[in-house]
Amino acid sequence: MRLVRVIGFVGIILCCLNSFAEDTLKIGYVDINRAFKAYDEAKGEFIKTEKEKGRDEHARREKKIRKLDEEFKKKASILTEEEKGERSKDIQKKIEELVEFDRAYREKEQEYIRKALTEIYQVIEKIGEKEGFDLIIEERSIFGKTIILFGKKSLDMTDKIIKELLKKD
């Protein structure tokens, strides 16, 4: 719902401004997904490598929990109530550790994404001010459809933003 309002608002602004300021209004757009991907590749592919590491570690821990659970079920008939309680607590502790690992991983990933997007938006603002843009729109894909239905390629600032981002290193 919020997205629809934003799109509608931007559309109204563009229509109004376009009607009386076509020659003086400087507009650009940036493909944030492409800029983020370039940023991530330049910074060591954090998302790709960390996702692989996270999936591998999650799978390893989950496999260990399943193995403990299977062993527990096989031996349940010969274990004392005390041993059953200990093993059950051990399995529960491993599950809690897995949940905590997943939470910490998601938090780390979100922090990286926030940092990357902050840098990208700072570069967009810097270039926008430096080059006198009146309006810079974020191009996004939702459900495989791009929000910007049409935009002259000359208005696409993505390559310029990526170049400036990569210059920071």
CATH of the domain at 93: 3.30.910.20
Answer whether residue 20 shows pLDDT above 90: no
Distance of CA 115 to the CA centre of its chain: 10
Bigger pLDDT: 154 or 22?
Answer: 154
Asked whether residue 13 is domain-assigned, the answer is: no
Asked whether residue 6 is domain-assigned, the answer is: no
Specify the DSSP class assigned to residue 22.
Answer: T
pLDDT score recorded for residue 126: 93
* Residue range(s) defining the domain that contains residue 86: 25-167
Q: What mean pLDDT is predicted for residues 13-27?
A: 62
Helix, strand, or coil (residue 31) = strand
pLDDT, tens digit, 9 for 90 and up, residues 36-76: 888 888 876 777 788 888 889 999 999 999 999 999 888 88
Answer whether residue 18 shows pLDDT above 90: no
pLDDT score recorded for residue 67: 94
Asked whether residue 120 is domain-assigned, the answer is: yes
What share of the chain in percent tops pLDDT 90? 29
pLDDT score recorded for residue 5: 54
Q: State which of 15-29, 57-71, 73-87 shows the largest mean pLDDT.
A: 57-71
Asked whether residue 10 is domain-assigned, the answer is: no
pLDDT score recorded for residue 17: 52
Asked whether residue 39 is domain-assigned, the answer is: yes
Asked whether residue 157 is domain-assigned, the answer is: yes
Name the domain count of the chain.
1
Is residue 135 within 8 A of residue 11, CB to CB? The reply is no
Answer whether residue 146 shows pLDDT above 70: no
pTM: 0.67
Is residue 136 within 8 A of residue 10, CB to CB? The reply is no
Asked whether residue 3 is domain-assigned, the answer is: no
pLDDT score recorded for residue 12: 56
Asked whether residue 46 is domain-assigned, the answer is: yes
Query: Alpha-carbon distance 107 to 110, whole Å?
Result: 5
Answer whether residue 122 shows pLDDT above 80: yes
